[in-house]
Amino acid sequence: AGEIEVGVLFSQTGGLSIVEKSLADATLMAIDEINATGGVNGMMIKPIVEDGASDPKTYNEKASKLVIRDRVPTVFGSYTSASRKAVLPVFEKRNSMYFYPTYYEGFECSKNVVYTGAVPNQQLSNFIPWIINTLGKKKFFIVGSNYIYPREMAKVSKILIEQNGGEYVADEYLELGHSEWGAMVSKIKDSGCDVVLSNVVGDSVVAFYREFKNQGLTHDVLPICATVTSEIEIAAMGADFAVGSYTSFPYFQAIDTPENKAFIERYRAFVGDPKAVTHHALESSYFQVFLWKQAVEKAGEATPDAIREGIKGQTFDAPNGKVTVDPDNLHTYLTPRIAQWGADGQGTIVEAYPEPVRPMPYVAYGETPDNLFCTAQGLDSSKL
Amino acid sequence: MSEILFIGLSLSSILLLIALGLSITYGAMGVINMAHGELVMIGAYTAVLSGIYLNLNLFFALPLAFVVSALVGLGLEKLVIRRLYGRIIDTLLATWGVAIILQQLIRLEFGLSFFGIHIEGLGPGLQNMDVPAFLTQPFEIAGIPIQPYRSFIIVVTLLLTLLTWFLMYRTSIGTQVRAIMRNPQIAAACGIDVRRVSAFTFAYGSGLAGIAGVLLAGFKTVMPDMGASTVVDGFLVVVVGGVGSLLGTVLASALLGQINGVFAILTNDILARAVVFGVVIAIILWRPRGLFAFKSR
Amino acid sequence: MAAALTIDGLEVDFGGFKAVDGMTTVIDEGELRVVLGPNGAGKTTLMDLVSGKTPSTAGEVRLFGKEITNWPEHQIARAGVGRKFQIPSVFRDLTVRDNLNVAVSHEPRVFRNLRLGMAAADRSRIDEVIALTGLEPVLDTIAGDLSHGQMQWLELGMLITQQARVILLDEPTAGMTQAETAKTADIILRLKGAHTILVVEHDMAFVRKIAERVTVMHMGKLLAEGPMARIEQDPAVREAYLGSGGVH
Amino acid sequence: MTRTKLFKYGDWGIYILFIVIVLGLPLVMTDVFWLNRIAKYLVYGMLGIAIALSWGYAGILNLGQGLFFGLGAYMVAMSLKLQSYTSLQQGSDTPVPDFMLWNAEPGAPTELCCITSGSWLWLPFQAQWFGMVMAIVLPVILALVLSSAIFRLRVSGVYVAIITLALVLLVRLLIIDAQPITNGFNGLTDLGWLTIGGFEFDPYLVSTYYIVAVSICVVLLATRWLVSTRAGLILQSTRDDPNRSRYLGYDVAAYQVFFFTVSAGIAGFAGMLYVIAAEFASPSFLDITFSISMVVWAAVGGRSSLIGAAIGAILINTIEATASETEMFREAWKLIIGVIFVAVVLYMPRGLAGLARDAVGLFAQTRDSGKTRTARSGAPAE
Amino acid sequence: MLSLSNVDSFYGRSQALHDMTVTAPKGEILAILGRNGVGKTTLLRTILGLTDRSEGVISLDGEEISARPTHERARAGIAYVPQGRMIIPDFTIRDNILMGGFAAGGPRRIPDIVPELFPYLMDNLDRPGGVLSGGQQQQLAIARALACKPAVLLMDEPTEGIQPNIVEQIEEIIIRLNRELGLTILLVEQNVTFARRAAGSFVMVEHGTAVETGRIDLLSDDMVAKHMAI
Ligand SMILES: Nc1ncnc2c1ncn2[C@@H]1O[C@H](COP(=O)(O)OP(=O)(O)OP(=O)(O)O)[C@@H](O)[C@H]1O
Ligand SMILES: Nc1ncnc2c1ncn2[C@@H]1O[C@H](COP(=O)(O)OP(=O)(O)OP(=O)(O)O)[C@@H](O)[C@H]1O
Ligand SMILES: [Mg+2]
Ligand SMILES: [Mg+2]
């Protein structure tokens, strides 16, 4: 018997708590479920929950508390890249494992982080060809919040657009968290594009879609195809404003499997909100705990090094389907899907990959499945 | 061209909407109310909740939000601000604390979430307000496309500005407010009920924030910290215009809004923001008391 | 005797209104000059112009032959002009002693002042001033807690500490009892000779006590100048200022 | 003993006590995590000192102190980034920060000089000392230019606060936008450790703690000396009545510029130490909330007391940390902090330092009440 | 009749009035005398409730007003001409005068007596108060107080900083206000000669307390020497 302590580090306060609280809840729910079925190797998981307070400084401090003082072998946590970057030195230099559930821009290869969210190739490699070939839209206006993820997504998109015979009209950025879209939407209107690729994040998304409609643009003529707009933002903006637009993610609440339905039920019961929505990062927050459990069980002990070895190649039947941790780069195989949003605030899956896609965090730098930059020994810089 | 002007105008109107209340509470009362953004937020939540529970639309939410924010402002004045008149920096610090408290109260659903009670429409998540369909459908007049929601904001802002101007410069209560703003002791010695008038003024300024909240809720997410980012812009406008000058506030928001709009169209939004900050700094250096400041000997 | 302060055709225009309008007068070194004039005649404004608070629009100010027109305030002060305001102006959050310490100002630059303590000579000068003004009992009081009258004394004391060669005093006895006024007159008389002093006052009893030459201003202009006795008899002055005549 | 003397000795007593505790802490605290955490809070304490210096003594409220802190942090972080293992791993002779690669145009040369436009700005930072020197020099130069403009043009009071506020927003925007050379929103992470004479200052070593601890003690004593000098006294006079100071012959702007700049230099220094202790620099250092928080810390400790402001900063952060790590307060801790801020402003306007002074004053009053009474209401005696 | 009995008054923690007892008879001028800093201004401010805190009983025509807020005392008929005048700089002369009307109640207007007393003000009604000279501001402050339609007028050194011929006028005005309009006036004054001429009674203040009071003819030169000399 006994206990294994793990860290759960999300923002409980501040602006990011909007999303991060749900990630924390999903993590805690997974822990509850594991404990209810006998724990890990007969040991109960004891979560130590800390508040990142939506501030990288706090994130850094709490991470070092968890790793150095509480000596947890693993921390599940964080949503933004900025907070992940702030905690990274702690995990790398103090050798502990970090499980990161969010889709992100790639370009990371750390032996101390397990990434269970999508990387650009898992969101874009089917999306762009589908837009061009199936939707028949060719002229892209790429818009995003001004930080790394949207800029990297734009970079990958441009390559894919070119490869598939489309053209891109412009890429423009708005300050993160800003919600004045008047000028931008007017530019989109005048640009002559026929599709908008949106990498806008956070609450700016809502203002964007609303302004889009207010200026008389409609998704049947000029659809927004998004990489970040999830069930949360759709619910927040009012589904009307998004009807007909598209998003690419490996997970949607609308995935029509008994496993997912049950998952949603359990989650709603867990947070006590019958209307609670689930989304990609939330689902990853959930299943990554199970991957971790399997890794500990395989390794037989819960030290960081054992977990790192144990996690390689782990597979789990997640609500979105089969997920597997790539033994080479500790990122996760996920199944890209595209959904079109309906008036009920749910997506209809209009396209899905037949099987999970290999994660390639360096795809924008020319990484291909045959030529992986990230290896089990870390980044192979000679390939850059 | 007219489109650029319209974008600038709508940016200006939103700046003015937020700055109007501040221009009263700061300009007339010397209170730097960092919780002004939270009063905006409360106005927005009023719209959300009145939509959910009372089925009221935007138009009814406006007066309701005015009343709710004004009442919260009144409470704030009685509990905190009242003890801080004349200590301008202290008002900034104390209301900073108040802002944190108000945000957190909404997030924790007034603390009920500790007991597992959930109020729909509150909490840390994102909320929204429904906008009547005719306000989101653009139409054309004489070939010029009109965006009804933006136009609606511009009109409401204009009306509020006129109302405020009338109250401040054409009524006895306005004279009393301005007298208190210069010298509360002598105002009292002249028979003005300083406490009541101050409380009224603060409540009025807060009420304006509430209205701003409803209008913002029409195109922004409603969430606990939605107001925090607006308040700084509001202060920049009030200060650039000249503290205590309603006209200055109006012109400063017009100027900054247009600059923002023009640069956003010609270059990009980021640069436009940077230019606005640069202009603010330059104006204060050029006119250390703002564009329209009263000069004493 | 050399001219300490020469005011030559000085003028200031406040948007069409000339508060000082072609004012000319010469004050000799060591002289004690009283400036009289109705309320609003421009006396305070004249001091503002001399001390650099308000930039003039025409004319010249010379201090010991050197032109100082429209210099920055601190440089004029450095050149030797000290000033007392109509509304007492002292450092309200500092103690009386620290007010005087600040006033010892022979070294204006920041870096030269990065040192603790002060020279013995300065300390003894401060002690003299304390004795002269009778501020001894309130030395450790915060200046803002002083009464109106006490502040006037302190401000006067600061000017002496400052060692200004030309001292401008704007209504130094305002709000004092007759006895206190008398003592202030004594202080001023004792400063005469060592300092050149320009006093604005309405209290005629006080003026009679200290005045030699008197300048009368009216509507920004020089109305009359001369020895006290003659000025008092001047019909124009009686009309504008002294007598029982109209307001303006 | 008179009141003044009592204050003076009490004051020095607190300084000595503070220094002894700060320097002696590692003897009793063996938890490296807490030691590192306290080191960070001592850095915040330095920010408190910087605020008290400009706000309390000069009456200049700087709502953009985070600008100088942030610049200091970025300067040293640039040097440490180039020392990072990964920077040497990018397949070039000179170290190149990893993020520059994915921000570069494909095919750009992987050399620091020219990988992205502006990356050459990083070249001198290959020397660690350069980053460390610049961490102080850059804030100082910027503060010098900025404050010269502000104070020569006689901007004062709240207007200074607004200018600094707008400037910190502006610079933050630019840093985020200049992603190819700053890594934008994510900031500079994955840094090497400060290395002096071959010794690596792991942030969790006692020696690293001592770098910070000694620094704050030196800063505290130096600023204390500064405000006790004649220049410090003159500065306080300019706060009370700048015109009076001018007519005494002081160039008020020069004093304001000097102390504003010193305060900025301290903030830059603090930024540098923070990076050494926390191993990252982020544009969030330039968030308005952070800059305002610093002012609140100083207010809690006592805005016109250097040591008070330092203690305020340390105390508030310790309370925040402990409250947020207590199960019961995990979600409510911010509420508590908010209430503390409001309560302090309302009921302790002069902060902890004011409280301490009142206590000492009360003690002195009971000892010689007669004396103080006459000093207050006394007219010149006959 | 305005009377104070055993009044203590405080600025923050420092006490400025100690056990002050004094009565201003109705329709008379009470001269308040004393050296600098003894608490004369504080006495007037305490009557209006403008110090931080005060204890003891203040009553106006037998009615206790000590617990009332300042504006109610003003509305009860006490008007104030403060030391330093306290003109609102960006209000016009007209608005400055009309401010007094808030205490008078009813429509606010410039009292009839003002044009007669202060022609300069009437000629410049639209200039901002802030640019006036000291003497002009003093006139304005009196006009404002008159607009309160007061029964009791508190005047704090009204002739301080005023040119001699206007001093004469103000002195005449004070006497007229008292004799013709029947105003009770509490007059802080340094000019003993004028005090003797105008006042009916006096109070000598020292260390925040009344050390001598009585009819004005009891004010001896000895007393003046004792309490007002340096
Ligand atoms: N900044 C200004 N703008 C406009 N008018 C001004 C300004 N400063 C002064 N004045 C006007 O200039 C005139 C002279 O004022 P000043 O204060 O110099 O008079 P004074 O002689 O000192 O009077 P007093 O004896 O009452 O102090 C007044 O009528 C005043 O209104
Ligand atoms: N705002 C204040 N705060 C603290 N103490 C004050 C304040 N105003 C006055 N005092 C103190 O109260 C005492 C009485 O001051 P007051 O102004 O009433 O004197 P005064 O008799 O009117 O003098 P003057 O003739 O100089 O006007 C003084 O010792 C002064 O230090
Ligand atoms: Mg004058
Ligand atoms: Mg007085």
Distance of CA D315 to the CA centre of its chain: 15
Which of D34, D36, D189 is opposite residue A85, by nearest beta carbon? D189
Mean pLDDT of E158-176: 85
Ordered by start, the domain boundaries in chain C are 3-242
Q: Which domains does chain E have, with CATH numbers?
A: 2-87+150-228 (3.40.50.300)
Residue C75 beta carbon below 6 angstroms from any ligand 1 atom? no
- Report CA(A130)–ligand 3 centroid distance (Å): 83
Subunits adjacent to chain D (3 or more Cβ pairs under 8 Å): A, B, C, E
- Buried-state track A291-310, b at ≥16 Cβ within 10 A, e below 16: bbbbbbeebeebbbebbbeb
- Residue A234: C-alpha distances to residues A241, A246, A347 (Å): 8, 11, 10
Contact predicate D256/D60, CB 8 Å: yes
Q: In this predicted structure, what is the pLDDT of residue C246? A: 33
Task: Give mean pLDDT in consecutive 10-residue pieces for chain D, a chain of 382 residues.
Answer: 69 90 91 92 96 93 94 96 82 81 78 84 92 96 95 90 92 91 89 89 92 96 93 92 91 95 97 94 93 93 92 93 82 86 90 83 62 34 28
CA distance D176 to chain A (A): 7
Ligand 1, closest atom to CA C39?
26
Subunits adjacent to chain E (3 or more Cβ pairs under 8 Å): B, C, D
Residue D377 beta carbon below 6 angstroms from any ligand 2 atom? yes
Q: In this predicted structure, what is the pLDDT of residue A176? A: 82
Element (H, E) at A232: helix A231-237
Least confident of A363-372, B94-103, C33-42, E19-28: A363-372
Nearest chain D residue to E10 by CA distance is: D377
Mean pLDDT of A224-242: 89
- DSSP secondary-structure letter at A357? B
Residue C55 beta carbon below 6 angstroms from any ligand 1 atom? no
Q: Say whether pLDDT at A5 is over 60.
A: yes
Ligand 1, closest atom to CA C41?
21
CA distance A33 to chain D (A): 21
By the CB criterion, residues less than 5 angstroms from ion ligand 3 are C 44, 86; E 134
Whole-number Å distance between alpha carbons of E21 and C24:
54
Contact D380 E16 (CB under 8 A): no
CB atoms closer than 10 angstroms to residue B1: 5
Q: In this predicted structure, what is the pLDDT of residue A382? A: 67
pLDDT in tens, A9-53: 999 887 788 888 899 999 999 999 999 999 998 899 999 999 998
Closest CA to A279 of A103, A30, A33, A124: A103
- The structure tokens 């004005």 sit at E216
Q: In this predicted structure, what is the pLDDT of residue D380? A: 29
Residue D312 lies in a domain: yes
Q: Which of C43, C170, C221 to mutate to test the pocket of ligand 1 (most atoms within 8 A of CB)?
A: C43
Instruction: Please indicate whether residue B121 or residue A325 has the higher confidence score (pLDDT).
Output: A325
E strands, A101-240, where? 113-115, 139-145, 167-174, 195-199, 224-226
**Three-state SS annotation for A284-341:** HHHHHHHHHHHHHHHHCCCCHHHHHHHHCCCEEEECCEEEEECCCCCCEEECCEEEEE
E185: three-class secondary structure by DSSP: strand
Q: Which residues of C touch E166 (CB under 8 A)?
A: 38-39, 247
Q: Which residues of A touch D177 (CB under 8 A)?
A: 146
Q: In this predicted structure, what is the pLDDT of residue D229? A: 92
Q: Which residues of A touch B261 (CB under 8 A)?
A: 182-183
Contact B108 D331 (CB under 8 A): yes
B50: three-class secondary structure by DSSP: helix
Residue E38 beta carbon below 6 angstroms from any ligand 2 atom? yes
Residue E52 beta carbon below 6 angstroms from any ligand 2 atom? no
What number of C-beta contacts closer than 8 Å exist between A and B?
101
Nearest chain C residue to E133 by CA distance is: C40
- Report CA(B112)–ligand 3 centroid distance (Å): 64
pLDDT in tens, D203-230: 889 999 999 999 999 999 999 999 999 9
Return mean pLDDT, chain B: 88
CA distance E109 to chain C (A): 23
Contact D190 A92 (CB under 8 A): yes
Residue E53 beta carbon below 6 angstroms from any ligand 2 atom? no
Mean pLDDT of B156-173: 93
Whole-number Å distance between alpha carbons of C200 and C36:
6
Q: In this predicted structure, what is the pLDDT of residue D377? A: 32
- The structure tokens 């927003």 sit at D169
Which D residues in the span 304-363 are in contact with C, Cβ-Cβ below 8 Å?
none
Residue D374 lies in a domain: no
| Closest ligand (CA of C49) | 1
Report the nearest-CA residue for atom 29 of ligand 2.
D377
Nearest chain D residue to E39 by CA distance is: D377
Q: Does C196 touch chain D (CB under 8 A)?
A: no
Largest Cα–Cα separation, chain D? 91
Least confident of A250-254, D83-87, E124-128: D83-87
**What long-range pairs does C202-211 form, CB within 8 A, spacing at least 24?**
C202/C36, C202/C171, C202/E135, C202/E161, C202/E162, C202/E163, C202/E164, C202/E167, C203/C173, C204/C242, C204/E164, C205/C178, C205/C181, C206/C173, C206/C181, C207/C34, C207/C36, C209/C182, C209/C185, C210/C32, C210/C34, C210/C185, C211/C32, C211/C34
φ, ψ for residue D324, nearest 5 deg: -75, -15
CB atoms closer than 10 angstroms to residue B284: 23
Q: Does A213 touch chain B (CB under 8 A)?
A: yes
DSSP C182-225: HHHHHHHHHHBTTBEEEEE---HHHHHHH-SEEEEEETTEEEEE
C236 contacts: CB under 8 Å, gap ≥ 6? C218, C223, C224
| Closest ligand (CA of C92) | 2
Tokens coding C100: 């005087």
Q: Which residues of D touch C105 (CB under 8 A)?
A: 248-250
Nearest chain B residue to E142 by CA distance is: B190
Closest CA to D55 of D245, D251, D178, D223: D223
Residue E111 pLDDT grade (very low, low, confident, very high; cuts 50, 70, 90): confident
Contact predicate C143/C95, CB 8 Å: yes
Q: Say whether pLDDT at B227 is over 50.
A: yes
Residue D325 lies in a domain: yes
Q: Which residues of E touch C (CB under 8 A)?
A: 11, 14, 34-38, 41, 83-84, 118-120, 131-136, 138, 157, 160-169, 190-192, 225, 228-230
- What percentage of residues in chain A have a pLDDT greater than 90? 53
Q: In this predicted structure, what is the pLDDT of residue C247? A: 34
CA distance E91 to chain B (A): 8
Contact predicate A148/A133, CB 8 Å: no
Q: Does D145 touch chain B (CB under 8 A)?
A: no
CB atoms closer than 10 angstroms to residue D105: 10
Nearest chain E residue to D358 by CA distance is: E13
Whole-number Å distance between alpha carbons of D191 and D97:
10
Below-50 pLDDT ranges, chain C: 244-248
pLDDT in tens, B36-49: 999 999 999 999 99
pLDDT in tens, E54-89: 999 999 998 999 999 999 999 999 999 998 778 988
Residue D375 lies in a domain: no
- Residue A349 β-bridge partners: A339
Q: Which of C17, C35, C45 to mutate to test the pocket of ligand 1 (most atoms within 8 A of CB)?
A: C45
Q: Does A229 touch chain B (CB under 8 A)?
A: no
Q: Which residues of B touch A (CB under 8 A)?
A: 3, 7, 10-11, 14, 104, 107, 116, 118, 120, 124-128, 130, 136-138, 145, 147-150, 218-221, 223, 225-226, 229, 260-261, 264-265, 268-270, 272-273
Least confident of A10-24, A274-288, B52-66: A10-24
At residue C219, what is the residue type? M
Q: In this predicted structure, what is the pLDDT of residue D3? A: 65
Nearest chain B residue to D337 by CA distance is: B97
Which of E49, E69, E103 is opposite residue B190, by nearest beta carbon? E103
Closest CA to A349 of A255, A278, A262: A255
Contact predicate B269/B219, CB 8 Å: no
- Quote the domain boundaries for residue D190: 3-369
- Residue E87: C-alpha distances to residues C42, D283, E98 (Å): 19, 48, 12
Return mean pLDDT, chain E: 89
The structural domain count of chain D equals: 1
Residue E41 beta carbon below 6 angstroms from any ligand 2 atom? yes
C5: three-class secondary structure by DSSP: strand
Q: Say whether pLDDT at A330 is over 60.
A: yes
Q: In this predicted structure, what is the pLDDT of residue D374? A: 35
CATH 3.40.190.10 fits C3-242, yes or no: no
φ, ψ for residue B35, nearest 5 deg: -90, 5
Which of D154, D292, D342 is opposite residue B98, by nearest beta carbon? D342
- The structure tokens 């102190």 sit at D65
